[in-house]
Amino acid sequence: MMYSAIATAIGGGISAYNSFQSAATQKNIANYNYAMQQRNAKMQLMSNTVQVKQIEQQARFQKAEAEINARLAENEAQARNNNAQNERNVALAQASVDRENIRRGNMDADQKRAVIRASQGKSGGQLDAGSLMETDVKAAQDAEIAAEEQHRMSDIGYRQSFAKAALEDFGAEMARAGASMDLATGLAEARLTRSSAALQEATGKSQYLMDQKRAEIARVSGYADAKGSQLSGWGSLFQTAGSVGSSWANWQHVGPSSSWGGKANSTSQRPPGFA
């Protein structure tokens, strides 16, 4: 019986030790897993933060690009407006020059006719009849035709210049319209990209909190398993202590077993003379 109690105590101690070791291992594993999950969660958050910054940088680039393109288009539009104004100024200046040339041409023609008349008058010719009259009429007609041709060419040049100016103004308006559309599109894309960055940032933070929660739950579960192993160890100790105590009490009551020198003698089997 004593051997049995000793074996029970040893077995119970080993079982309790194993339970306590298992509890310590489970707790260490829970702490390690918690630390690793926390580390992974932080690394994932840092990676997400980098991606968010990249997306925000892209949004700033889109906005800056849209604004630069808009300024370039405005510069182009202004240049075309300037070209149009230059065309109009040149046309007006040329028209003024043409009028002056026509006026001088008419004066020259009149002077030439006057010289011819004066010469014919000195020679005794009559201007109202014959070849002298035809010569004067022809000179007047030539002067009028030349003046009309000059006026016509001047008008054509004037109209062409103003047509070019109108085309330049139209090009400027189209450039501004395109710039406005491109700017609106670029800013809309930048806002959409910023919204995407904000969404990813919120998603990353939410995922980080969820990962932390999972890590905490896993650690608590590991601690619970470790606590269960500890309780199992203490239960084994208490059970072993109860078994050993019971065996010890029986041994004290019955006496040494046969393994200690044979079966114990009761008081009725003791020799006479023994109390």
Residue 38 has pLDDT above 60, yes or no: yes
State the sign of the Cα–Cα–Cα–Cα dihedral 160, 162, 166, 171.
positive
74, burial (CB in 10 Å: exposed 0-12, middle 13-18, buried 19+): middle
As given in the structure block, the two tokens for residue 70 are 């808009």
Rounded to a whole number, what is the largest CA-CA distance in the chain?
A: 209
Count of CB atoms situated within 10 Å of the CB of 161: 21
- What gap in Å lies between CA 165 and CA 75, rounded to an integer? 17
Distance separating alpha carbons of residues 57 and 189, to the nearest angstrom:
13
**Closest among 45, 49, 66 to 184, alpha carbons compared:** 66
Going by the DSSP 8-state scheme, the letter that residue 258 receives in this structure is G
Question: Does residue 129 come out as left (phi exceeding 0), alpha (psi in the -120 to 50 range) or beta?
Answer: beta
Q: Of 94-103, 113-122, 183-192, 223-232, where does the model show the most confidence?
A: 183-192
Please give the single-letter amino acid code of residue 159.
R
Structure tokens at 115: 């010289």
Between residues 237 and 200, the one the model is more confident about:
200
Per residue in 111-149, pLDDT (tens digit) is 776 766 666 655 555 555 455 556 666 767 777 777 787
Confidence band of 271 (pLDDT split at 50, 70, 90)? very low
pLDDT at 85: 92
pTM score of the predicted model: 0.54
For residues 121 and 67, which has the higher predicted lDDT (pLDDT)?
67
- Choose the weakest-confidence range: 13-22, 184-193, 234-243: 234-243
